[in-house]
Structures are given as C-alpha cells and as structure tokens.
Amino acid sequence: MANESTQHHDIPERDYHAPKSNYLNWQHTVSSWLLTVDHKRIGVMYLIAISVFFMVGGIFAGLFRLELLTPEGDYLQSDTYNRFFTLHAVVMIFFFLIPSVPATFGNFFIPLMIGAKDVAFPKLNLLSWYIYMIAGVMGVTLISLGGLDTGWTVYAPLSTTYANTNVFLATITIFVSGFSSILTGLNFIVTIHKMRAPGMTWFRLPLFVWAHYATSVIQVLGTPVVAISVLLIGIERIWGVGIFDPALGGDPILFQHMFWFYSHPAVYIMILPGMGVISEVIACFARNRVFGYEFIAFSSIAIAIIGFLVWGHHMYVSGQSMYAGFVFSLLTMLVAVPSAIKIFNWTATLYQGNVVWDTPMLYAVGFLGLFAVGGGTGLFLGVIGLDVPLHDTYFVVGHFHYVMVGGMVMAYLAGLHFYWPKITGKAYPRLMANIAAIIIFVGFNFTFFPQLVLGWMGMPRRYHSYHPDFQILNILSTTGATVLGIGFILPVFYLLWSLVYGKDAGSNPWGARGLEWEACTSPPDPHNFHEIPVVTKECYSYTGEETVSV
C-alpha cells in the first residue's frame, strides 16, 4: 500500500518497514541528544519538556480547583492561591501553549513536509530549545518559591508598585522565553521560504505549513512588544521611573495597551498551529483534499493580520474611550469570520470522502465542537454591551479554556496521536486511546461549562473565596476537572507503553498523503530523505482513492 502511493513523487522505492537505522537510534550518547542540531531530535526534546510543563501547570490547576470546592478560603492561604493561579497561567501559556504544536510537531514535520533535510538554521533551533528550557525552569522555580502573585496579566500599578513579590525577576522569564519563540518563528519563515523541495509550490504546501507560517509572522512581530512591556516594568520597579504607575506620573492604561497588543495575537499563536493539525487530520481521515484549500490558507493569514487590531476588546471597561471600544468591537466580530470559514470547509471536506473513524479523528471532532463553543462564547465578549457584565468573570475563564483546552489541547492531542507512529515508529493501543479521548471530552465539558454559567451568574475570576450561591457550580467544575485530569494521564501510560511493547507502525499507518508519510520511513532517517524528493502533485492527493491500509 505504502509503496503504491509513492508513485506520486519521483523518489526511489525502498523498504518502508522498521528501518534499522533511524534518527532515534543512530547515535546513543546523551550528548548526541543535548547537542543535536537535528530538527527531529529537537522536536522530541520539546515534546518531553512540554509534557512536563503541562503536568506542572495541570497539578497547580488541580490544587486551586480543590480550594474552590467550598466558598470559604479554607485550605489555601489567599497568597498561595494567587500564586497558584498565576503559576498555572504562566506555565500553560508561555511554556505549554505557545510552543506546544510549533516547537514539537512544527519542528519535526515542517522540514519533512516541504522536503528539506532540516530547518534553515539548525543551530538556532537548538539554541531556542535551550532558551526555552532556561526560561521554563527559572519561571517555575521563581514562581513556586513565591515570585509572582499578580496574575499572568501583571497589570500595573499592582505589578510595579504594590505586589509583595519580586515581579521583575519572575517576569524576566517571560522576556527570556520570548526569544525562544522569536527564534523559532524566524527559523520557520526562512525555512518555508527557502528550503522547499523542487516542485513544492506554495499551493502544494500542506495547510499545516501555512498555519505555521502565519503563526511565525505573529511571533516575530508581536513577541518583542511583550518583551518591551516587561522591561518597562523592570525600569519602573528598579529605578522608579514613572511609566505605568500614576503615583509617579505614569499611565496604567498604557500598560494594558502594550500587554494586549502582544497577548491578544498570542492567542492566535496558540490556536493557528492547532488549526493546521486539524486540517491534516481531517484530510487524511476523510481521504479527501481539504475543501476550499485556498480559503483555509488565506484565512490563517487574515487571522494573523486582523488579530493584531483587536487587542482593545480586553479593555472595554478599563476606561478607554467608547469610540475605541466601537472600533475594536467591530474588528473583533470580523476576526470571527475566518475561523467560521475554516470550520465550514473542514466539515465540507468529509463530503464524498471515505471517512475513517480513528483516534485522531475523534480528537478532531472534539476540537470542532469545543472550538465552536469557544468561538461562539467569544462573540458574547466581543460585543461591548454584553462584555460589560461578563468581563473579568468566570465566563471569560470558561471561554478561553474552551478555545485553549477544548481547541488547542484537543488539536495537540489529535496531532500527538496522528504523528506518534511517525515520530516513534510504534503503534499505540487504539481502544485505550479512544476511551481516553472520550474521557477527556466529557471531563472537559464538566469542568468548563459550569464556569460559563458561573460567569453569567456574576462570579468574578481570581476569587479565592466566593459567594455561597456559586458553590454547586464550582463543585461540578472541580468534579469535572478530576475526570479531565484522569483523561490527560491515560495517554502518558499507553504512549510510553507503546514505546516498549507497541507494534511497528510502518511508514504510513494511516494511508496519509504527503512527503512526511510517503517518502520517509517511521521513524525517519537521520537525514530525512536519501535524496531530495521532486514534488509533482499537490499534498492532499486522495481523490480517486478508495481503500487504505488501516
């Protein structure tokens, strides 16, 4: 089966099953990993690091959800509670979500997808992993030692003058991790422009690559602004220069503008790569070319551009001018349209396809439904009149978790289950994986739907103790979080199990199209391809296919 499909590319046929030498086993020393410039090994190192940070962030979420079982602040001190939710946010946003798909699957698969031997700057790629690790370890250590209790938003003047912790030292980790993000983005942009194999035109690129291109542009343009904001906080804290604190003649609203100018586009840094994964998964399991390829490709670019112009929707009640609110609200509503276009096109891809229901596809359905809720609840918050009551309540918390966990984490898990056989060469137990997908879906909704209701009932976010009327919904949410936690732990076990006991997956277990499946072994060769492939077909050449080798 796999052999038959290689006819789409002018590359020699060879044995695609269980190659003796691959990128994982050709060198064994620790230094061959820590000093590697192979994008695949760096991707795997990111995968391991990111999983650890995800667990750290998740444990802290579990700890404060436990506190929220009762209205009184009885089990954690309020200082501890505040540090926990800050740590949860910082770790999840900067050390899990932002690098999640790009640094792991992006790193691993972009060169494979475009037919390159590596990214454009392999040493820079390794450097960005080290920067990420330094920032991550520093961040977790400093914050858990009591470094930051301001929320991840570090609003001035709380962060600059009033916080009783060393805000500057802690936020500098965000500054450092930003460089990792910028370097990865830069690397991808150059790689996609300059390293495509002969015949790999822009419109033959997998949509995964388009999504990463859009993401990288945001990373390179947006990340410096958060770095500047963090530096200005430092200047104000250390030298007392009045920038944000009105007591020194500064302007606290200015900080919010600078913060959201990065942090809103950062939302798209987090979600766009996930959308890229979903495009790949749906095309593969529908055995069909993605419907409206160009529309999905350009909607990523549209999101990247309009996404830079909507930051003020975080500030409707901050005291900004009502006319600014008017413009931001209009642009916010318009940025919803490209996401809707993607959803429609993904759905239409199934039409006249040959749909296979397998684990990655379950996660893709989960993504679609939950991301629709995330986007839909975003409409509530984008409309000014309705944002006035809902702003800074649990409705916002529910909304962005629907986008970030329901959307991005689902997409990440879809990618993990889709690409695992390629990365490791091993097949994982499908039944276990399908059960885990369903547990995660159910647990997720039990955790976050009650939070949407809580917000509408009026519970403000970041509350250590709360009004007794809100208790029943909080109990539901914490119960759901327990189920969700179990769901997240399961893949750790069966995926690690598969490394030892899993069957060889074969080079193309899903019958997918694209160079990464058809022209590479599983796990791939240290140099990806024996010779650079010449591409003669577009990437989703499923049309006319009827059977697959699942």
Partner 1 sequence: MFNIPLIPEHASTFAAKVDPLFWFLTIFVAIFCVAITAIFIYLGLRYKQTPGRKSEHYENMALELTWSVIPAIIAIGIFWWGTVIYFEYANMPEDTYDVSVVGKQWMWKVQHPNGKTEVNHLTMPVGQAVKLTMTSQDVLHDFYIPAFRVKQDVIPARYTTMWFEATKTGEFPLFCAEYCGTEHSTMVGGVTVLPQAEFTAWLGGETGMTPVEAGAALFQQMGCVTCHAQGDASRGPQLNGKFGTEETFTDGSTATIDEEYIRESIMTPGMKIVQGYAPLMPTFASQLSEDDINNLIAYIKSLS
Site for partner 1 in 156-195 (CB under 8 A): 157-158, 161-164
- What's the full length of the chain, in residues? 550
Output 183 or 277, the one with its CB closest to partner 1: 277
Report if residue 289 touches partner 1, rule: CB under 8 A.
Answer: yes
Report if residue 78 touches partner 1, rule: CB under 8 A.
Answer: yes
Please report, to the nearest 10 degrees, the dihedral formed by the alpha carbons of residues 487, 492, 494, 496 taken in order. 180
Which amino acid is present at 56? V
Asked if 387 and 313 touch (Cβ cutoff 8 Å), the reply is yes
Q: Which stretch binds partner 1 (CB under 8 A): 54-62, 103-111, 375-383, 492-500?
A: 375-383
Q: Which stretch binds partner 1 (CB under 8 A): 152-160, 206-214, 440-448, 481-489?
A: 152-160
DSSP H or E run through 204: none
Q: Is 49 exposed, middle or buried (0-12, 13-18, 19+ CB in 10 A)?
A: buried
Report if residue 287 touches partner 1, rule: CB under 8 A.
Answer: yes
Output 265 or 374, the one with its CB closest to partner 1: 374
Output 367 or 428, the one with its CB closest to partner 1: 367
Backbone phi, psi, residue 535, to 5°:
-95, 130
Measure CA 289 to chain center.
24
- Show the tokens assigned to 35: 């000093």
Measure CA 32 to chain center.
28
Q: Which residues contact 550 (CB under 8 A, 6 or more apart)?
A: 356, 358, 509, 510, 511
Please report, to the nearest 10 degrees, the dihedral formed by the alpha carbons of residues 118, 294, 542, 20 taken in order. 10
Residue 405: Cβ within 10 Å count = 21
DSSP H or E run through 391: none
Contacting residue, 356, 435, 490, 532, with partner 1 by CB under 8 A: 356
Contacting residue, 51, 70, 153, 434, with partner 1 by CB under 8 A: 153
Report if residue 544 touches partner 1, rule: CB under 8 A.
Answer: yes
Report if residue 447 touches partner 1, rule: CB under 8 A.
Answer: no
Output 368 or 505, the one with its CB closest to partner 1: 368
d(CA 399, CA 298): 25
Output 467 or 527, the one with its CB closest to partner 1: 467
Asked if 412 and 100 touch (Cβ cutoff 8 Å), the reply is yes
Q: Which stretch binds partner 1 (CB under 8 A): 115-123, 155-163, 187-195, 518-526?
A: 155-163
Report if residue 389 touches partner 1, rule: CB under 8 A.
Answer: yes
Contacting residue, 348, 432, 442, 483, with partner 1 by CB under 8 A: 348
Q: How far is CA 454 from CA 86, 88, 395, 465, 478, in A?
A: 20, 20, 7, 14, 13
Contacting residue, 388, 438, 489, 496, with partner 1 by CB under 8 A: 388
Q: What is the largest CA-CA distance in the chain?
A: 72
Which amino acid is present at 522? S
- Show the tokens assigned to 378: 């975003």
Output 260 or 291, the one with its CB closest to partner 1: 291
Q: Which stretch binds partner 1 (CB under 8 A): 1-9, 167-175, 303-311, 539-547?
A: 539-547
Q: How far is CA 41 from CA 30, 195, 293, 453, in A?
A: 12, 19, 31, 44
Using CB under 8 A as the binding rule, the residues of this chain from 474 to 513 that contact partner 1 are: 476
Report if residue 73 touches partner 1, rule: CB under 8 A.
Answer: yes
Q: Which residues contact 253 (CB under 8 A, 6 or more apart)?
A: 315, 318, 319, 320
Report if residue 149 touches partner 1, rule: CB under 8 A.
Answer: yes
Output 527 or 537, the one with its CB closest to partner 1: 537
Using CB under 8 A as the binding rule, the residues of this chain from 241 to 260 that contact partner 1 are: 246-247, 249, 252-253
Report if residue 392 touches partner 1, rule: CB under 8 A.
Answer: yes
Contacting residue, 82, 104, 215, 507, with partner 1 by CB under 8 A: 82
Q: Which stretch binds partner 1 (CB under 8 A): 108-116, 179-187, 200-208, 540-548?
A: 540-548
Task: Give the shortest CB-234-to-partner 1 separation in angstroms.
Answer: 18
Helix residue ranges, H only, 404-506: 410-424, 430-457, 471-501
Report if residue 74 touches partner 1, rule: CB under 8 A.
Answer: no
Output 54 or 542, the one with its CB closest to partner 1: 542
Q: What is the DSSP letter of 470?
A: G
Contacting residue, 272, 368, 405, 409, with partner 1 by CB under 8 A: 368
First to last CA, the chain: 10
Site size for partner 1 (CB under 8 A): 100
Q: Which stretch binds partner 1 (CB under 8 A): 117-125, 227-235, 381-389, 497-505?
A: 381-389
Report if residue 385 touches partner 1, rule: CB under 8 A.
Answer: yes
| Peptide bond just before 157 cis, omega within 30 deg | yes
d(CA 414, CA 285): 12
Report if residue 469 touches partner 1, rule: CB under 8 A.
Answer: yes
Report if residue 534 touches partner 1, rule: CB under 8 A.
Answer: no
Contacting residue, 18, 231, 365, 427, with partner 1 by CB under 8 A: 365
Output 32 or 201, the one with its CB closest to partner 1: 201
* Per-residue binding letters, 328-347, with partner 1 (x by CB under 8 A): -xx--xx-xx--xx-xxxxx
Output 7 or 543, the one with its CB closest to partner 1: 543
